[in-house]
Amino acid sequence: MSSDNLPEKTPGERAVATEEPTPDPGLPAHEWRPTDVSPRAERRAERQVAGLFGLAILGSIGFIVSYVVFGVGDNPDTIANLGASNLMLGLCLAVTLLGMGAGMIQWARKLMGDHEIVEMRHTASSSQEDRQAAVAILQTGLEESGLARRPLIRNTLLAAGGVLGVLPIIMLRDLGPLPGDKLDHTLWDLNTWTPEMQAWWQTQNRTVQRVVRDVVGTPIKVTDLVVGDLVNAEPEVMFASDDTTQEALVEGTDLLVAKSKAAVVLHRMLPGDIVSTQTRNCSVYGIVCYSKICTHVGCPISLNERTTHHLLCPCHQSTFDLTDSGRVLFGPAARALPQLELTVDDEGYLAAKGDFTEPVGPSFWERG
Amino acid sequence: MRLLNRPLGRLSRHRRGPLAGLLVVLVGLLLTGGLYAVLSPASAQDDSSAAQIKQGRELFLVGCSFCHGTNGQGVKTLDGNQIGPPLAGVGAAAVDFQVGTGRMPATQPGPQIPQKEPNYTADEIAALAAYVASLGPGPAIPNPSDYSLDGLSAEQRQEAIVRGGQIFLTNCTACHNFEGSGGGMPKGGYAPRIRGVSPKYIFEAMLTGPQAMDNFSNGNLSVKEKRDIIAYLQSLEDSPEYGGFGMGGIGPVSEGMFAWVVGIGSLVGVAIWIAAKTARSSKQKAES
């Protein structure tokens, strides 16, 4: 009977209900599912659930077969230009999991017990007696421990907890030594080089470090560049190697760290396009050189528009004016893009006069 | 001197021979003509090229001069905006790229001139290119051998692809996306998708820097480095999408959209199905 699940109404509640203008119609009678009243529907639902579970088994078998059949690695099998192994493993696993999930839901909805359960609302707070009992327990604890009467114990306990809190702060030391002034200098500064780099520089017999193309490391002549050219460049020491051991002077993590600070972009424009005197003084023949590291959060930036000479950061759209000291035109960057002073060495190659005059990249705590 | 004297002496015995005068004149003429051909400044174009330039100028006057001026000098509006830039010095490569990809002649001015079906035949484009190239020295149309990988061993090819990939990721990715799918630029511009573009046009685009794109002249990225970039882009065409559907290859935007709309959308759908009211029967359950 459908009313079996309803709670008994107390006489008081019934009295309240009669005062309402419209009498409470109560809950409608329970309607049974087809599977409850028709044995045929029940058997069909049973077959559906078993079929879905069977599909899940087939999916698992397909997974094993796909794992064995399809090749991976350098020359993978493909289906419609997609990696066959990944595609089939994923599809088979999806069939298995969906089959099991759908089967269980179908089972619960069609065959498991069909009860309607009503739970009446009640207030969220505990009863008055429970609350008084809880307060009494706390009071007893306070009195018996004597927290209020023995301040020495209380204060030493608090101090012990405080010292415990210091321990995680001590462990922050594992994050490594403080950076010191490393953020202030890049590989453009010859004074910060390692002894091996200094030894290599002695053999080069030159005074200024060349600006070389990224990836290939070739030096750049002024005449190589036409107006509108953009070159992604690095300091030449990054591509130098030891004469005897043939090992690169900067490699691994050191290379990545060095690159993340020293990378630059060269852009040649008509000298008349340059607006600020500072930019003109740092340029040669209309070629300007700026840090490639955005002053916002340090993304590498090289989206340049030759028509406007605006350099744009792809991460947060900070835009810098290359004609005007790297001034911020738009976006969240707070500082102008640092410019590197260019010169031409004895053999006609572009070179840097020295390091940037300020730290490159995003602002940091000690920078002020 | 004595060593030299002997052969000269032998030669000088024939100096009064009947054919000597004729021979000297002949040698003198050949030498003069040959030296002139080698040393003289590049001679005027031959007739066929002059005719091509003439044809190019006629086409130019009809199709291009409205914006670029009747002599390719560029046209400015009264308030100083450029309608069409001056064309002296852009070279044949720029014309071949702009007209060959249908960007020029432009339908209308705007932040970016889109690619469309080319309006001119190959011969007409060649004539236009010859005419514009005659306005001033500029990059010529690259030779197919500049960007072709023919004649390279499989190993050299692989090397070119790897190096090209590094150069591409350093120089091109910022605007054109890590797999060449293109991306947005400020004020309505965009870096177009460069997958499936013919190698010649990729080479010319780097060479001439169309629209707002920077130049990557042969002094900036050498011919070989450009070839490697093209090799890398072509290798992307051949390599399967091993990780599944690329969804345009534009990174987190399309992938996030797919996850939110299709992924979470279907989860919501399933949740609604689970909680939906099932079919009900009007029959009563037989009392057992």
CA A354 – CA A356 distance, rounded (Å): 7
Domain end position, chosen among B69, B100, B133:
B133
Interface of B with A (CB under 8 A): 163, 166-167, 170-171, 174-175, 183, 185-186, 189, 209, 211-217, 219-222, 225, 240-245, 273-274, 278-286
Judged by DSSP in three states, A356 sits in coil
Distance from the A304 Cα atom to the nearest Cα atom in chain B, whole angstroms: 7
B251, part of any domain: no
CATH number corresponding to A183-367: 2.102.10.10
* Residue A159, Ramachandran bin (φ over 0: left; ψ between -120 and 50: alpha; else beta): alpha
Predicted confidence band at A261 (pLDDT cuts at 50, 70, 90)? very high
**What pairing do the DSSP bridges indicate for beta strands A310-312 and A303-305?**
antiparallel
Binned at pLDDT 50, 70 and 90, residue A8 comes out as low
Looking at residue A2, what is its pLDDT?
44
Residue that terminates a domain, selected from B133, B159, B191: B133
User: Which of B180, B149, B181, B167 lies closest to B216 in space, CA to CA?
Assistant: B167
Q: What is the nearest CA distance from B270 to chain A, expressed in angstroms?
A: 9
Report yes or no: A37 and B285 within 8 Å, Cβ to Cβ: yes
pLDDT in tens, A98-110: 999 999 999 998 8
3-state helix, strand, coil in chain B (%, to 5): 55, 5, 45
Tally of CA atoms within 13 A in the half-sphere of A317 that contains its CB? 7
CB A66 within 8 A of CB A87: no
DSSP 8-class letter at A192? G
In a domain, B76, yes or no: yes
DSSP secondary structure letter of residue A325: T
Assigned domain for B91 exists: yes
Q: What is the DSSP string of B81-131?
A: -EEE---TTSHHHHHHHHHHTT-SS-SS-SSSPPP---SS-HHHHHHHHHH
Question: How confident is the model at residue A180, as a pLDDT?
Answer: 82
Indicate if B164 and B80 belong to the same structural domain: no
Q: Which domain covers residue B80, as residue numbers?
A: 51-133
* Contacts with A104 (C-beta within 8 Å, 6 or more apart), sequence order: none
Q: Do A306 and B212 touch (CB under 8 A)?
A: yes
Of A7, A250, A278, A39, the residue nearest A120 (C-alpha): A7
Say whether B240 and A232 touch across the interface (CB within 8 A). no
**Same domain? B165 vs B96:** no
In a domain, B224, yes or no: yes
How close does chain B come to A133, measured CA to CA in Å?
42
User: Regarding predicted confidence, which is higher, B283 or A338?
Assistant: A338
Contact status, residue A334 vs residue A324, Cβ threshold 8 Å:
no
Average pLDDT over residues A348-368: 89
How far is it, in rounded angstroms, from Cα A156 to Cα B216?
Answer: 72
Which of the listed residues B133, B161, B196 is the one where a domain comes to its end?
Answer: B133
Residues B105 and B154 in one domain: no
Chain centroid to CA A224? 40
Are A289 and A339 contacting, i.e. CB atoms less than 8 angstroms apart? yes
Residue B252 lies in a domain: no
Q: Which residues of A touch B242 (CB under 8 A)?
A: 76, 82-83, 86
CATH number of residue B86's parent domain: 1.10.760.10
CB count within 10 Å of CB A59 equals 19
**B41 or A295: which carries more pLDDT confidence?**
A295
Decide if B281 and A306 are in contact by the 8 Å CB cutoff.
no
- pTM, entire model: 0.74
State how many domains chain B has. Answer: 2
Share of chain A above pLDDT 90, in %: 60
Question: Pick the residue with more confidence: B220 or A77?
Answer: B220
In a domain, B17, yes or no: no
Domain ranges of chain A: 2-110, 183-367
* Number of helices and strands in chain B (H, E): 13, 4
- The answer, yes or no, to whether residue A3 has pLDDT greater than 60, is no
Q: pLDDT by residue (tens digit) across B23-64?
A: 888 888 888 888 877 776 555 445 678 889 999 999 999 989
For the segment A13-70, what is each residue's pLDDT rounded down to a tens digit?
A: 555 555 778 888 887 888 888 888 889 999 999 999 999 999 999 999 999 999 999 8
Helix, strand, coil percent content, chain A, rounded in steps of 5:
45, 15, 40
Cα gap A283→B8, rounded to integer Å? 62
Say yes or no: B155 and B211 in one domain: yes
Comparing alpha-carbon positions, the chain B residue that sits nearest to A317 is B186
Beta strands at B75-76 and B82-84: parallel, antiparallel or unpaired: antiparallel
Q: Where is A213: in which H helix or E strand?
A: strand A209-213
Q: B19 in a domain, yes or no?
A: no
pLDDT < 50 stretches in chain B: 44-45
* The residue count for chain B: 288
Residue B99 domain flag: yes
Q: Given a cut of 60, is residue A5 above it in pLDDT?
A: no
